[in-house]
Structure 1
């Protein structure tokens, strides 16, 4: 689980890699990624974007 004191910083290459992986996951797995990071940080933002793009509801 994500913690309040944890900060994830991604450079452009990291962002591209996470987007690449999220594109290949099932809707259920994208939701799991979002929930695992509790919607926080860069990965939470990218998972949220993927969910919006794919019209995935929690």
Structure 2
């Protein structure tokens, strides 16, 4: 579990990634955990298919 400060930092990093890199982060995490959740959030916002 990420604390709020770390979640905010990861969120900022994921927001700045290219679309294909966001999908890569999601896939590398196996779609599980807080980092995957942040990537999935970006995928939904950007309407990305995976």
Taking structure 2 as the reference length, the TM-score comes to 0.95
Cα-Cα RMSD: 0.5
Q: 1 CA distance for matches of 2:33 and 2:14?
A: 15
Q: 2 CA distance for matches of 1:13 and 1:42?
A: 13
Structure with greater helix share of residues: 2
Q: 1:29 aligns with which of 10, 16, 21?
A: 21
CA-CA distance at 1:45 after TM superposition: 0.7
Query: Where in structure 2 are there 5+ consecutive unaligned residues?
Result: none
Does 2:13 align with 1:56?
no
CA-CA distance at 1:11 after TM superposition: 0.4
Query: Where in structure 1 are there 5+ consecutive unaligned residues?
Result: 1-8
- After superposing on structure 2, the runs of 4+ consecutive aligned residues of structure 1 that deviate more than 6 Å are none
Aligned residues: 50
Does 2:32 align with 1:46?
no
